[in-house]
């Protein structure tokens, strides 16, 4: 990407500015200074990941998909992925922007294609950033102007562009199953001392029914709560400079040692290697 005037290069430079901003953003700015492999990352919704520096690798099944700057990783629906973040050799760090495609964005795009059928979400893919740069630039400009409604519509334009490029499965409506609903609840308040009664009340079902349905899905309430907390910890470690102790407390762990052990068991990497500290 020696051409600094290419649409992709111009977009990357603007996204670098976005990543340097302080305050709440409708995306996650991921950073790392150590190369690391994270196993079985649960992606809850369709997502776009744009590497800014370093190399992103992702694997759903089979071979690794390589995504350098100038490419975009498209995750067209909820799934579990192995991921690697590899810092750039010259700068010594890894940086990326991760954009979750929320329901209002996808709904707006679907409304503009009312007569189109949508296939099942396909595999993850690497997409040339040049093909999406104008649409993403519209989103970025609206975002930086503080025009959140226009930014939402602009992101719907990005989705429509992906649809035109052949990724129709991105617009397939998805519904949260029982496990997904529980993960969403816990993710919203990861430090809360969740009890079975809390979940049963929120879902409007008895404890016996809850346990039976989760057992049929091959999981348990305890596993789901722990998994949602660790997933939030992963996001915090990747997107903030909080020390491991602070991250552990924010997701409901009183013991940093216990948190680190559970995190390493879940993701196959020590939490201290994931972030930018």
The string of pLDDT tens digits covering residues 3-19 is 567 888 999 999 998 88
* Alpha-carbon gap, residue 187 to 15, rounded angstroms: 27
Please calculate the CA angle 41-103-46 and round it to the nearest 5 degrees.
30
Q: Does domain 7-171 have CATH number 3.40.1350?
A: no
Residue 118 has pLDDT above 50, yes or no: yes
Residue 238 pairs in a beta bridge with: none
Please calculate the CA angle 65-184-216 and round it to the nearest 5 degrees.
85
> 178-273 maps to which CATH number?
1.10.10.60
CA separation (Å) from 62 to 51, 59, 73, 81, 178? 22, 7, 16, 11, 28
- Whether 274 and 238 have beta carbons less than 8 Å apart is answered as yes
- Whether 43 and 81 have beta carbons less than 8 Å apart is answered as yes
pLDDT band at 20 (very low <50, low <70, confident <90, very high): confident
| Per-residue pLDDT, 1 | 45
Please report, for the chain, the start and end positions of each structural domain, with discontinuous segments joined by +.
Answer: 7-171, 178-273
Between 174 and 274, name the one with better pLDDT.
274
| Per-residue pLDDT, 5 | 74
- Whether 249 and 18 have beta carbons less than 8 Å apart is answered as no
Q: What value does the mean pLDDT take over residues 198-212?
A: 93
pLDDT band at 21 (very low <50, low <70, confident <90, very high): confident
Q: What value does the mean pLDDT take over residues 186-208?
A: 93
Q: Is 40 left (phi over 0), alpha (psi -120 to 50) or beta?
A: left
* Alpha-carbon gap, residue 22 to 32, rounded angstroms: 18
- Whether 135 and 157 have beta carbons less than 8 Å apart is answered as yes
- Whether 56 and 67 have beta carbons less than 8 Å apart is answered as yes
Between 268 and 120, name the one with better pLDDT.
268
Residue 73, CA atoms < 13 Å, CB-side half-sphere? 30
Residue 22 has pLDDT above 90, yes or no: no
Residue 179 has pLDDT above 70, yes or no: yes
Residue 26 has pLDDT above 90, yes or no: no
* Alpha-carbon gap, residue 124 to 181, rounded angstroms: 23
Reference 158, options 116, 123, 189, 112; nearest CA is 112
Q: What value does the mean pLDDT take over residues 229-249?
A: 94
Percent of the chain whose pLDDT exceeds 70: 95
Tell me the two tokens of residue 195: 């009890």
The string of pLDDT tens digits covering residues 57-107 is 999 988 999 999 999 999 999 899 999 999 999 999 999 999 999 999 999
How large is the greatest C-alpha to C-alpha distance in the chain, in angstroms? 62
pLDDT band at 215 (very low <50, low <70, confident <90, very high): very high
3 state SS of 153: helix
pLDDT band at 141 (very low <50, low <70, confident <90, very high): very high
Q: What value does the mean pLDDT take over residues 26-55?
A: 93
């Amino acid at each position: 990407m020696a051409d600094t005037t290419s649409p992709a290069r111009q977009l990357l430079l603007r996204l670098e500015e976005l990543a340097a901003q302080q305050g709440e953003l409708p995306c996650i700015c991921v950073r790392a200074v150590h190369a690391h492999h994270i196993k079985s990352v649960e992606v809850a919704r369709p997502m776009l990941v744009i590497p800014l520096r370093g190399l992103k690798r992702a694997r759903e099944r089979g071979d690794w998909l390589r995504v350098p700057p100038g490419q975009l990783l498209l995750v067209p629906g909820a799934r579990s992925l192995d991921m690697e973040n590899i810092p750039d050799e010259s700068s010594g760090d890894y940086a990326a922007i991760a954009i979750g495609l929320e329901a209002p964005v996808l709904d707006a795009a679907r409304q503009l294609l009312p007569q189109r059928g949508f296939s099942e979400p396909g595999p993850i893919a690497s997409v040339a950033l040049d093909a999406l740069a104008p649409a993403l630039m519209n989103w970025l400009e609206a975002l930086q102007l503080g025009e959140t409604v226009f930014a939402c519509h602009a992101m719907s334009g990005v989705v429509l562009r992906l649809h035109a490029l052949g990724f129709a499965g991105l617009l397939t409506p998805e519904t949260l199953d029982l496990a997904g609903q529980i993960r969403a609840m816990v993710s919203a308040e990861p430090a809360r001392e969740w009890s079975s009664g809390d979940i049963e009340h929120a879902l409007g079902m008895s404890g016996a029914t809850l346990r039976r349905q989760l057992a049929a899905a091959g999981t348990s309430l305890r596993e789901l709560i722990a998994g949602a907390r660790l997933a939030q910890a992963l996001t915090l470690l990747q997107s903030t400079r909080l020390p491991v102790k602070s991250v552990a407390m924010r997701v409901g762990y009183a013991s940093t040692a216990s948190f680190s052990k559970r995190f390493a068991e879940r993701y196959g990497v020590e939490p201290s290697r994931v972030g930018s500290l």
